[in-house]
Amino acid sequence: MAFAITLVEDDIRACFRYSLGGMNLEAFVLGSGGMMPLPYRQLTSMLVRREGELFLFDAGEGTQVSIRRLNLRWKKITAIFISHMHADHVTGLPGILMLSSQVDRQEPLYIFGPPKLADYIDQNRRILDMYINYDIIVQEISERTTVWNGEGYSIRAFPLRHTKMCFGYALEEAPRPGVFYPEKAVSKGVPRGPLWSELQSGKTVQLSDGREVHPSEVMGEPRSGRKFSFVTDSLYFPEIAQEVSNSDLFICEGMFEQALIESAVDKRHMTARQAAQIARDAGNVRQLGLIHYSPRYADRELKVLLDEAREIFPNTVLTKDRMCFPIEFVD
Indicate which residues carry an active-site annotation. 88
CA distances from 195 to 16, 178, 221 (A): 33, 16, 19
3-class DSSP assignment, residue 316: strand
The single-letter DSSP state of residue 74 is G
Rounded-to-integer distance, Cα 26 and Cα 325, Å: 6
* Burial label, 104 (beta-carbon count in 10 A; 0-12, 13-18, 19+): exposed
Sign for the CA dihedral angle at 135, 122, 85, 29 comes to: positive
Fill in the amino acid letter for 72.
Answer: L
At a CB cut-off of 8 Å and minimum separation 6, what does 108 contact?
134, 135, 136, 137
Rounded-to-integer distance, Cα 242 and Cα 235, Å: 15
The single-letter DSSP state of residue 54 is E
Concatenating the DSSP letter of every residue in 288-310 gives: EEEE-B-TT--GGGTHHHHHHHH
Concatenating the DSSP letter of every residue in 159-182 gives: E--SSS--EEEEEEEPPBP--B-H
